């Protein structure tokens, strides 16, 4: 059952491309940075730069002597993007973190309960993208894509596709039938022909075109599989470590807690989101956080000039915190459990003796408290927390999470590649016609020793008291900055 695959993960901050065999061995990988153009609440990237980065990564692999004559190409990446095309060209990609789409949007043409019945989510959770589609200069586009990986597929094959995982977040897909539902956009001016084809993650999207082959080095005619959005890809790969059906936490630029589910549980305020899982009839329950690694990075730049190791050393200083110093990490608004795009961060409990080290520690504690709130919402109780994402590089963050959760934290030795492994599982399943569990385990080695962090039990009482104060203070941030 051998095969070679090229898997690409186009995230918010970087593009990772790797070639692997189906024994969990990575032959080689290459990474390129991705730039985000921000202006207030505007968060955009340039699709042309995505393609340039992909070409450069392929060239880097070849310069290392790694052949790209693979059995298949599969991609994953950031979800909930709005990528408008006009005459086959895409000038910009509006990211999920962009807040313009929700401004002034207070209702839909369908009652909220009808929207929820179709999408599996609170109607407010799926309206921002609809706002763009219906109101933002529709004459400027004749076709649209919803995920970064779908742009790579378009350039490789000429096909416009979307997977059910990412289709969920558009607010236009019936989560039960995994098909576009016209009633959800009726009267908006959107036509079905403007939307990409919905394909299952393991279905073939197309084949590498001659022009794409000449630009990337991937042979023309190589099959390209649909793949899936990064939320689904990480969940699929994490199941090989945490166990199928177990929840996990993601600490990247943004964050989330996710747990596979057989039923939908719609929250009153939409702070719990559902994705269609790769498996038919199953769902992924997501509790998203807008503030995670981005806040950690802000703290590193604020106190250590961008030097992460210096920040780690600052956190290692043994200092007593005078009183209940707290940090509310809502620097970028928040989606969970406080749903407020205008929310902002705050230090609480500062006195004249507070040091930089104590403030830095409060930042990481605030992130861990925020993450724990999502676990409470998900109803997850476990002696071990499986933690993934770029934030796990930080020893201080890993330990802080273990202390706040008062449980072991397990970090995959290959955690930065989990999304790529999850995408590769789609291609493996297509080629070998096997179960999702077998595919997820086949494309990654689970023999590497994961990092295990034990909690400091002496901090249990102190952190529980802080957590109660954090929960109360965070709740009061809702609506505070509306005026």
Residue pLDDT, tens place only, 44-77: 999 999 999 999 999 999 999 999 999 999 999 9
Query: Domain end: 228, 262, 286, which one?
Result: 228
CB 183 within 8 A of CB 173: no
Last residue of a domain, one of 177, 193, 228: 228
Q: Is the pLDDT reported for residue 105 higher than 50?
A: no
Residues 224 and 236 in one domain: no
pLDDT bin (cut points 50, 70, 90) of residue 204 is very high
Tell me the pTM: 0.83
CATH number of the domain that residue 65 is part of: 3.30.420.40
pLDDT of residue 267: 60
Exposure of 134 in the CB half-sphere (CA atoms within 13 A): 20
Extract the tokens encoding 432.
Answer: 């070998």
Task: Supply the pLDDT for residue 131.
Answer: 56
Please check whether residue 181 is in contact with residue 173, taking contact to mean a CB–CB distance below 8 angstroms: yes
362-379 CB burial, b ≥16 within 10 A, e <16: bbbbbbbbbbbbbbebbe
Asked if the structure places residue 420 within a domain, the reply is no
- The verdict on residue 425 lying in a domain is no
* Closest to 146 in 3D by CA, of 4, 317, 309, 275: 275
Residue 82 falls inside a structural domain? yes
pLDDT-based confidence at residue 287 (cuts at 50, 70, 90): confident
Strands 451-453 and 408-411: antiparallel
Question: Prior bond to 97 cis, omega within 30?
Answer: no
Same domain, 222 and 242: no
pLDDT of 483 > 90? The answer is no
Residue 104's pLDDT band (boundaries 50, 70, 90)?
Answer: very low
Is residue 202 domain-shared with residue 284, that is, in the same domain? no
The reply to whether 351 and 328 lie within a common domain is yes
Domain boundary among 211, 228, 245: 228
Kindly report the three-state secondary structure assignment for every residue of the chain: CCCEEEEEEECCCEEEEEEEECCCCEEEEEEEECCCEEECCEEEECHHHHHHHHHHHHHHHHHCCCCCCCCEEEEEECCCCEEEEECCECCCEECCCCCHHHCCCCCCCCCHHHHHHHHCCCHHHHHHHHHHHHHCCHHHCCEEECCHHHHHHHHHHCCCEECHHHHHCCCCEECCCCEECHHHCCCCCCCHHHCCEECCCCCEEEECCHHHHHHHCCCCCCEEECCCCHHHHHHHHHHHHHCCCCCEEEECCCEEEEEEECCCCCCCCCCCEEEECCCCCCEEEEEEECCCHHHHHHHHHHHHCCCHHHHHHHHHCCCCCCCCCEEECCECEECCCCCECCCCCEEECCCCCCCHHHHHHHHHHHHHHHHHHHHHHHCCCCCEEEEECHHHHCHHHHHHHHHHHCCEEEECCCHHHHHHHHHHHHHHHHHHCCCHHHHHHHCCCCCCCCEEECCCHHHHHHHHHHHHHHHHHHHCCCCCCCC
Q: Is it the case that residue 255 has pLDDT exceeding 70? A: yes
Say how far apart CA 50 and CA 462 lie, in whole Å.
Answer: 46
Could you report the per-residue pLDDT of 121-164, keeping only the tens digit for each? 876 655 445 555 556 566 667 888 999 999 999 999 999 999 99
The answer to whether residues 248 and 175 belong to one domain is: no
Q: What's the average model confidence in pLDDT over 156-185?
A: 93
Low-confidence winner among 31-35, 116-120, 364-368, 405-409 (lowest mean pLDDT): 116-120
Asked if the structure places residue 434 within a domain, the reply is: no
Mean pLDDT score of the chain, rounded to an integer? 87
- Clarify whether residues 238 and 179 are in a common domain: no
CB 59 within 8 A of CB 66: no
**195-224 burial by CB neighbour count: b if 16+ within 10 A, else e?**
bbebbbbbebbbbbbeebbebbebeeebbb
Answer whether residue 407 is part of any domain: yes
Give yes or no: residues 220 and 267 share one domain. Answer: no
Q: Highest mean pLDDT: which of 176-190, 223-237, 305-319?
A: 223-237
- Do 240 and 216 share a structural domain? no
pLDDT tens, residue by residue, 421-474: 999 999 999 999 999 989 988 888 655 678 999 999 999 999 999 999 999 999
Same domain for 453 and 335: yes
Residue 325 has pLDDT above 70, yes or no: yes
Task: Out of 15-29, 258-272, 297-311, pick the least confident.
Answer: 258-272
Angle of helix 230-242 versus helix 418-432 axis, rounded to 10: 90
Contact assessment for residue 25 and residue 92, using Cβ atoms and an 8 Å cutoff: no
| pLDDT of 320 strictly over 70 | no
- Band of the pLDDT at 256, cuts 50, 70, 90? confident
224 and 236 in a common domain: no
Of 301, 462, 324, 296, nearest to 390 (Cα)? Answer: 296
For residue 330, CA distances in Å to 98, 289, 337, 396 come to 15, 9, 11, 20
Tokens at 170, concatenated: 């558009």
Write the CB contacts of 176 (distance below 8 Å, at least 6 apart in sequence): 118, 120
The domain of 291 spans 232-412+449-483
45 DSSP β-pair partners:
93
Q: Rounded to an integer, what is the distance from CA 241 to the centroid of its chain?
A: 18
The first and second tokens of residue 416, run together, are 């930065």
Say whether both 247 and 223 belong to one domain. Answer: no
Q: How far apart are CA 317 and CA 260, in angstroms?
A: 39
Predicted confidence at residue 437, as pLDDT, reads: 87
With bands split at pLDDT 50, 70 and 90, how would you rate the model's confidence at 185? confident
- What's the CA gap between 450 and 174, in Å, rounded? 38
Q: Which is more confident, 77 or 375? A: 77
What confidence score (pLDDT) does residue 136 get? 58
CB 378 within 8 A of CB 259: yes
How many domains are there within the chain? 2
Question: Is residue 221 situated within a structural domain?
Answer: yes
314 and 347 in a single domain? The answer is yes
| Domain contains 433 | no
Quick one: which of 72, 50, 15 has its CA closest to 221? 72
> What whole-number distance in Å separates Cα of residue 241 and Cα of residue 361?
29
* 104 Ramachandran zone, left/alpha/beta (phi>0; psi -120 to 50): left
Residue 153 maps to a domain: yes
């Amino acid at each position: 059952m051998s095969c070679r695959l090229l898997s690409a993960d186009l995230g918010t901050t970087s593009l990772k491309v790797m070639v692997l065999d189906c024994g969990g061995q990575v032959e080689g990988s290459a990474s390129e940075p991705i730039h985000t153009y921000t202006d207030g609440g505007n968060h955009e990237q340039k699709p042309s730069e995505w393609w340039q980065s992909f070409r450069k990564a392929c060239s880097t692999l070849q310069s290392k002597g790694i052949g790209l004559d693979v059995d298949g190409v599969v991609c994953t990446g950031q979800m909930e993007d709005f990528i408008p095309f006009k005459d086959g060209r895409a000038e910009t990609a509006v990211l999920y973190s962009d807040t313009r789409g929700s401004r002034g949007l207070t209702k839909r043409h369908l009652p909220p309960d009808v929207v929820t019945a179709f999408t599996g989510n609170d109607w407010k959770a799926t309206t921002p993208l609809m706002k763009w589609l219906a109101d933002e200069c529709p004459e400027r586009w004749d076709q649209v894509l919803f995920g970064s990986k779908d742009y790579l597929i378009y350039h490789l094959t000429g096909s416009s596709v979307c997977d059910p995982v990412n289709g969920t977040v558009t607010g236009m897909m019936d989560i039960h039938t995994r098909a576009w539902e016209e009633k959800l956009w009726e009267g908006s001016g959107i036509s079905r022909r403007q939307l990409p084809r919905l394909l299952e993650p393991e279905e073939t999207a197309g084949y590498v075109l001659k022009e794409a082959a000449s630009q990337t080095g991937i042979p023309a005619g190589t099959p390209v599989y649909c793949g899936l959005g990064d939320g689904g890809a990480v969940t699929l790969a994490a199941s090989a470590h945490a166990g199928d059906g177990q929840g996990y936490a993601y600490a990247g630029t943004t964050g989330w807690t996710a747990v596979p589910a057989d039923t939908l549980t719609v929250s009153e305020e939409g702070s719990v989101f559902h994705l269609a899982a790769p498996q038919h009839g199953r769902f992924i329950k997501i509790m998203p956080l807008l503030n995670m690694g981005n806040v950690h990075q802000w703290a590193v730049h604020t106190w250590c000039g961008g030097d992460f190791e210096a920040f780690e050393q600052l956190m290692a200083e043994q200092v007593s915190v005078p009183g209940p110093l707290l940090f509310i990490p809502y620097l970028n608004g928040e989606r969970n459990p406080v749903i407020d795009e205008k929310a902002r961060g705050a230090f609480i409990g500062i006195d004249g003796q507070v040091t930089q080290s104590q403030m830095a520690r409060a930042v990481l504690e605030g992130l861990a408290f925020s993450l724990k709130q999502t676990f409470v919402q998900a109803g997850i109780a476990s002696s071990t927390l499986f933690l993934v994402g770029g934030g796990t590089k930080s020893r201080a963050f890993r330990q802080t999470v273990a202390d706040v959760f008062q449980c072991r934290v397990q970090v995959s030795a290959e955690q930065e590649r989990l999304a790529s492994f999850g995408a590769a599982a789609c291609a493996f399943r297509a080629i070998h016609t096997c179960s999702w569990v077998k595919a997820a385990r086949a494309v990654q080695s689970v023999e590497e020793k994961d990092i295990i962090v034990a909690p400091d039990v002496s901090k249990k009482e102190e952190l529980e008291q802080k957590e109660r104060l954090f929960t109360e203070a965070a709740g009061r941030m809702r609506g505070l900055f509306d005026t």
